[in-house]
A = this chain, B = another copy of it.
Amino acid sequence: MAVLRLARRLRAERADDSLSDGQFAVLAILSVHGPHALGALAERERVTAPSMNRTVNCLESAGYVRREADEDDARRVRILLTDAGIDLVAETVRRRDAWLDAVLDSLPEADREAVARAVPLLEVIAAR
């Protein structure tokens, strides 16, 4: 329950309220893992290709991603962040970090260490 509640709180801290969670998730993937084909994005987010196509269209209209032709296979497209997309991700990370920093600063040092020790374990659990 604590994890579900905190996730909800974190999602509220974003840099552009006009974008949905799913749209942000795509920007985050592109930021961390680099350019993707449409199908690869759909698979990572576990949505259908048409659904991801719509999400990418929205992000493209907003100027946060662009499509490039794939050099080797003309059927495929490369979807990548624009400069505006890179900035938006950085700003959102900055806001979340700022919020978390403020909360963590209010905790005693021992509690901060306890949280820090648990984070890699949560990563392991989520990966299962």
Contacts and interface: CB of A to CB of B under 8 A. Distances in A.
A122 B4 contact: no
A114 B111 contact: no
Nearest to A6: B126
Chain A interface main SS type: helix
Contacts of A124: 107
Interface residues of A, number: 31
Most chain B CB atoms below 10 A, which of A3, A121, A124, A128: A3
A114 B122 CA distance: 10
Given A115-B118, A118-B115, A124-B107, A11 B4 contact: yes
Nearest to A117: B114
B125 A103 contact: yes
